[in-house]
Chain A
Amino acid sequence: MSQTAVHTEHFDATASKIGMWLFIFTELLLFGGLFIVYSVVRFMHQDAFHLAAQELDVVLGATNTGLLLISSMTIAMSVSAIQFGHKKFTQILIIITILIGLVFLVNKYFEWSVKIGHGLYPGSPVLQGFGNGDTLFFGLYFFMTGLHALHIVAGVSILGWVLVRVNRNGIHAGHFVHLENGALYWHLVDVIWIFLFPLFYLIS
């Protein structure tokens, strides 16, 4: 009697997505913890936060918010496009999303450059002259927007990998959960920014 192992490939898209969501929860709680730190520090230094937030550029912040919302739509559309079997359109939508992510980072670079040019960076002599409230505001600003920017870099990398898989037909109308999971990650990055924008730029 010959021993042949019959290997039938079983793939469970729902399980794959549950895994992605569990990872997203760890990310949400990571940023959630930081939001709680922000709330408490703001509660203790209300006047300083009020004035320090006025240093931030609302126009630039709003532009980046709009960009991320548009990119969230394009990547959501790509999941429909792959299901319709529109490979070309899927590729275009993923490329647009990646490009918007890169534009976001360029804006962030200019924004940070201006702040650092004004002597506003963690541990700067200018901030030490202002007192604890401003130091904490800009410390949290750089840490939280910086951590978010790192997530943009990660998201762009993931979507780049997804794009390669689509090009090679590894992701297609019958098997697209990796595109869906990549899109979920990009939406997470969008959701985090939806809260960062009002808390740092608007409430002043």
Chain B
Amino acid sequence: MSSSENRHVVPYSTYIVILLVLLVFTGLSILVTSYELGPLAVSAALLFATLKTTLVLLYFMHLKFEERLFGVMVSVVMALFLVVLVITFFDYSFR
């Protein structure tokens, strides 16, 4: 019998609340980008996408309830991606 399999059980209600928040964020991102805001619209849409991803990672993918190691691993990969993105944009902005 594996000892580590019976851990935190997330109640159904948590998932329903998270889904509703995710749908509201989707609606808001559609609403925000329907105005002619230019670069601001891009930032707003990406902000909502990031918020939604954070909720999916924390609740649906259980990072909030897992051992810390999982959160650390995900953070390192995200940081790696951001570093590559920023370096690429320095290159293209200043050539």
Query: Which residues of A line the B interface, CB within 8 A?
Result: 10-14, 17-18, 21-22, 25, 28-29, 32, 35-36, 39-40, 43-44, 58, 62, 65-66, 69-70, 72-73, 76-77, 79-80, 83-84, 173-177, 180, 183-184, 187, 190-191, 194-195, 197-199, 202-204
Contacts and interface: CB of A to CB of B under 8 A. Distances in A.
Contacts of A76: 10, 15, 59-60
Q: Which of B10, B26, B80, B84 has the most CB of A within 10 A?
A: B26
A109 to B, nearest CB: 22
Q: Chain B interface: which size bin?
A: 35 or more
Interface string B28-68: 01100100000001100110110011001101111000110
B70 A198 contact: no
B75 to A, nearest CB: 11
8 contacts: A13-B4, A17-B66, A25-B77, A39-B88, A72-B56, A76-B15, A198-B29, A202-B33
A194 B52 contact: yes
A202 B29 contact: yes
B61 A83 contact: no
Q: Which of B22, B45, B56, B60 has the most CB of A within 10 A?
A: B60
